[in-house]
Amino acid sequence: MQFIPMETFACKGASQAPFSYLSKALFHPPIQEFVDQCKFLCKRLHPLTSREATLNGWQSTRTRRVTLAAMLSVATVLIAPQVGHADNGQDLAKAPPEQVGMSTQRLARISAIFKRDVDQGKLPGAVMMVARKGKLVFAEAVGFQDKNAARPMSLNSIFRVYSMSKSLTSVAAMTLVEDGTIQLADPISKYLPAFKRMVVSVPKIDPALVRLTYTMVPAEREITIQDLLRHTAGLAYGELTTNTPVRDAYVKAGFVAQSGPDFDIRGMTADEQVERLSKAPLATQPGAMWEYSIAVDVLGRVLEAATGKRLSEVLDERLFKPLKMADTSFWVPKNKIDQLAQPLPVDPITGLPNILFDMSTPPKNDSGGAGIASTATDYLRFAQMLLNKGQLDGMRLLSPTTVRLMTADHLGTRIDDMVAPVTALLGTPGYTFGLGFAVRRSDGIVGEPGSSGEFLWTSFAGSFFWIDPKEQIAAVYMTQSPGPLRGHYRRLFKQLVYQAVVD
């Protein structure tokens, strides 16, 4: 940032109202927002009762200097570009935390605690952003983007977001619902005929042999698009399922890595993926049970069949370009690869090597369930759009009614949850599942702050976002730390954000 000496303002425009003059001097849009924030801070810091402290009569030299000093303090925060952060208009509008009912002092605890743990070798680094009432009030990069290379984390660092890809793909699917291309009740065989007649691997205890056996039975109904969105399709993850025939079939089909990173199914084409997966048995009857699964990857194949376009094109057209998510994609091009964050070589708890996706080359298929890379800035724009009930910066992507549908309870009491949504990921019960997000059932039960109706999802590599409509909060935590401490840091970031709410 270029420093503008106080003398510049003292000798010029002395008869002008300070806010109109400083706006012209700094020439940084949006001017009105900057002016409003300067007014707010000056009123908070200098509640002078004399007439010369008002905007229309600021003749006192002392008042002018105090006011300008306060304004320049705000300018330093609002206008100075972050290290390595492109000034491309993608950031949300910024505001002092106190303007939206949060405490600067309390938000500072986030930085201090996470920097401490980086110094202790527990985390490689992280980028954390918090918005309230539509204003960005906290943006911090701590630690290392690549510790081995001694490269510091920056606000434009790119992260493999793994399962946070699911929420992006789910929103893209709902834009197709809105324009009539697909319906939630559609059987997926309408678009992927190979899934027309599925079988289910049903576990049964053999009393004679005192062991668990499995029987193959026909699916009672077809998988629907709604099933894919809420994880009730009967599909599974080979790395997670306890259904032995399902796991064996997934291993044989190449859905469980024998070497390399877990959950990486990008080495087969989209057609190969559909053909192989359709031959594997389902783990449960469609619509009968919530089980975290590869379902959103299949949803990506549905979107491709419905539009005749590759999933990356669908998301570019319907999400990334409208939301100006310039650093979000299914692979990281050569000119941005130096922005890609890396994990610690070895997990500090398990001692095992951390192996994450190679994002440097285009994948054979676009993994809608785990294959996207993004920045905290980009993802916060996505989250804020949802908090705004489907629109951002005058661009509407979804109807408020669609956002309400996506964040409703789609499990109820009829659908069992073998592993309750989020319990295994955050270590706390109290959530149900909507269409692409876990949804909090009530203010209580969950062992962390938040509100009923908040919705969220997480990432295998540790990242996390949530949206709280009641408190008007959208927050993003980005890291590349896939070990057992990831749940701890998600909860920690969340509780530190809520303790900073003061109004």
Rounded to an integer, the average pLDDT of 264-271 is 94
State residue 5's pLDDT score: 35
Confidence of residue 315 (pLDDT cuts 50, 70, 90): very high
* pLDDT of 118 above 80: yes
Over the stretch 431-440, which tens digit does the pLDDT of each residue have? 999 999 999 9
Instruction: State which amino acid sits at residue 40.
Output: F
CA distances from 449 to 212, 288, 359, 386, 466 (A): 41, 31, 35, 20, 12
**For residues 71-95, average pLDDT:** 51
**Given pLDDT bands bounded at 50, 70 and 90, which one contains residue 16?**
very low
Query: Mean per-residue pLDDT for 137-143?
Result: 98
Q: Which tokens go with 330?
A: 């299914």
**Position 101 pLDDT exceeds 90:** yes
> What is the pTM (predicted TM-score) of this model?
0.82
Say yes or no to pLDDT of 36 above 60: no
pLDDT of residue 211: 83
Residue 379, both tokens: 């993802």
Question: What pLDDT score does 486 carry?
Answer: 93
Contact 467, 473 (CB under 8 A): yes
Structure tokens at 393: 């910066």
383 and 476 in contact (C-beta within 8 Å)?
yes
pLDDT grade for 13, boundaries at 50, 70 and 90: very low
pLDDT value for 427: 74
User: What's the first-to-final CA gap in the chain, in angstroms?
Assistant: 33
Residue 217 has pLDDT above 70, yes or no: yes
What is the chain's length?
Answer: 503
In whole angstroms, what is the distance from residue 447 CA to residue 13 CA? 56
Q: What is the mean pLDDT of the segment spanning 324-352? A: 97
Taking only the tens place, the pLDDT of each residue in 171-204 is 999 999 999 999 999 999 999 999 999 999 999 9
Q: Is the pLDDT of residue 91 over 70?
A: yes
Band (pLDDT 50/70/90 cuts) for residue 377 is very high
Predicted confidence at residue 46, as pLDDT, reads 42
What mean pLDDT is predicted for residues 483-488?
A: 93
Whole-angstrom Cα distance, residue 202 to residue 214? 5
Percent of the chain with pLDDT over 70: 80
What are 392-448's pLDDT values in tens digits?
999 999 999 999 999 999 999 877 665 666 676 667 789 999 999 999 999 998 889
Tell me the C-alpha distance between 464 and 472, whole Å.
17
Which residues does residue 373 pair with via DSSP β-bridges, in sequence order? Answer: 160, 329
Mean pLDDT of the residues in the chain: 85
Tokens of 165: 């890809």
Mean pLDDT, residues 472-478 taken together = 98
Most confident range (mean pLDDT) of 87-96, 106-115, 413-422 is 106-115
262 by Cβ neighbours in 10 Å (0-12 / 13-18 / 19+) ranks as: middle
Ramachandran angles phi, psi of 206, nearest 5°: -85, 110
Report d(CA 26, CA 72) in Å as an integer.
10
Q: How many CB atoms lie within 10 A of CB 277?
A: 24
Cα–chain-centroid distance for residue 344?
Answer: 21
Q: What is the pLDDT of residue 422?
A: 67
Q: Residues 140-163: what's their mean pLDDT? A: 97
What's the Cα-to-Cα distance from 68 to each of 8, 41, 104, 356, rounded to whole Å?
A: 11, 11, 21, 49
Give the pLDDT band of residue 376 (cuts 50, 70, 90).
very high
Cα separation, 456 vs 448, in Å, equals 13
